[in-house]
């Protein structure tokens, strides 16, 4: 039986560097890495038995790297302190932070509109106001939008609304605004993200759920014709047991976009999988394609995509929990 590997980490920005070799104070750490507009969440607790730890101010920047001591650590980014907690005895300092990329300092609500513009132009305008460079993936940039209103909402809220409408992910990352098709496992340039194969012997536990999602056969969306004042409909899939969307949209294109996005969400939700890796993987991120092996035949035959990665580290070890959905790319 091979000895358990020792977790490795480096936390910077606290007035000292915290690592096993320099100042082994870590009791526990959890990093939740989500896709789209959900900020990555970091929480860790440090021993403060000697009182040397300063309580960081709210808004302070922290750096984090994770891995194992017998290999190089992987940079997991920069985080902004949201909340601190000091408790004792024995004294401990708990810090809660969110990824710096999603702390955009532009909460102002705006009013405005776009007429006869492509989605890429609109996202580009919004990214520019946030001082970010737009990267728009797939065919999203070329989607024509007849009319779009921004009514008393922030730029980030509007981007989130557009991402929902077109079943996309919208993520600020390293000075860029990534607006990508959801569930395709592709980069902004349209190339496939390199996938990986995970066998059952790398995991401690797994959970597989298959659902018929009420056996929906398609999606129906309605729109109102200005010429005839009649309510029209568009169908994606089959009408047999189609899900009907409640809103009435302003034109056929918008109705089609909403119906298509909902149908894609239904397809991805037909099965889900969670897997706890016995040895943590700091190199895994959401939207990575995954092939599973040595599970049940149905599980192995399904193409998977990572939607969430949770890293848990303590003096007892380092594990990574993956949440997976069907890869429709």
For 132-158, what is each residue's pLDDT tens digit?
889 887 788 888 988 888 988 888 889
pLDDT of residue 119 exceeding 80: yes
Contact between residue 279 and residue 319 where contact means Cβ atoms under 8 Å apart: yes
Q: Whole-model pTM?
A: 0.80
Q: What's residue 187's pLDDT?
A: 60
Contact between residue 206 and residue 295 where contact means Cβ atoms under 8 Å apart: yes
User: Which of the four pLDDT bands, split at 50, 70 and 90, describes residue 242?
Assistant: confident
Residues 6+ apart with CB under 8 A from 227: none
For 25-80, what is each residue's pLDDT tens digit?
889 999 998 876 666 899 999 999 888 888 999 889 899 999 998 888 999 988 98
Query: Chain-wide mean pLDDT for the chain?
Result: 86
**What mean pLDDT comes out for the span 117-134?**
90
Cβ neighbours of 231 (radius 10 Å): 10
Strand runs labelled E in 22-167: 26-34, 41-47, 61-68, 74-87, 92-99, 109-118, 133-136, 144-154
Q: What's residue 38's pLDDT?
A: 63
User: Which of the four pLDDT bands, split at 50, 70 and 90, describes residue 97?
Assistant: very high
Question: Using CA atoms, how far apart are residues 5 and 200, in angstroms rounded to an integer?
Answer: 19
User: Which of the four pLDDT bands, split at 50, 70 and 90, describes residue 105?
Assistant: low
């Amino acid at each position: 039986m091979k000895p358990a590997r020792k977790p490795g980490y480096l936390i910077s920005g606290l007035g000292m560097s915290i690592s096993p070799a320099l100042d082994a104070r870590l009791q526990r750490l959890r990093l939740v890495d989500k896709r789209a507009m959900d900020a990555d969440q970091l929480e860790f607790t440090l021993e403060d038995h000697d009182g040397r730890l300063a309580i960081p101010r709210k808004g302070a920047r922290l750096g984090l790297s994770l891995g194992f001591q017998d290999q190089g650590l992987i940079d997991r980014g920069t985080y902004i302190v949201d909340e601190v907690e000091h408790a004792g005895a024995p004294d401990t300092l708990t810090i809660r932070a969110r990824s710096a990329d999603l702390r955009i300092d532009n909460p102002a609500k705006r009013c405005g509109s776009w007429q006869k513009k492509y989605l890429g132009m609109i996202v580009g305008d919004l990214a520019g106001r946030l001082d970010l460079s737009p990267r728009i993936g797939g065919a999203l940039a070329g989607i024509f939008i007849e009319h779009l209103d921004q009514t008393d909402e922030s730029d980030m809220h509007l981007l989130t609304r557009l991402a929902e409408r077109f079943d996309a992910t919208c993520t600020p990352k390293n000075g860029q605004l990534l607006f990508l098709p959801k569930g395709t496992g592709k980069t902004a340039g349209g190339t496939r993200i390199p996938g990986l194969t995970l066998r059952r012997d790398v995991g401690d536990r797994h959970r597989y759920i298959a659902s018929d999602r009420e056996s929906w056969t398609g999606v129906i969306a309605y729109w109102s014709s200005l010429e005839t004042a009649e309510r029209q409909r568009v169908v994606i899939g089959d009408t047999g047991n189609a899900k009907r969307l409640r809103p009435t949209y302003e034109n056929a294109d918008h109705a089609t976009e909403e119906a298509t996005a909902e149908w894609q969400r239904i397809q991805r939700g037909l099965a889900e999988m969670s897997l706890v890796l016995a040895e943590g993987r700091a190199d895994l991120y959401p939207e990575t394609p995954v092939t599973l092996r040595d599970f049940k035949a149905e599980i192995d035959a399904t193409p998977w995509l990572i939607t969430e990665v949770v890293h848990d580290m303590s003096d007892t070890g380092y594990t990574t929990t993956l949440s997976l959905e069907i890869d429709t790319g």
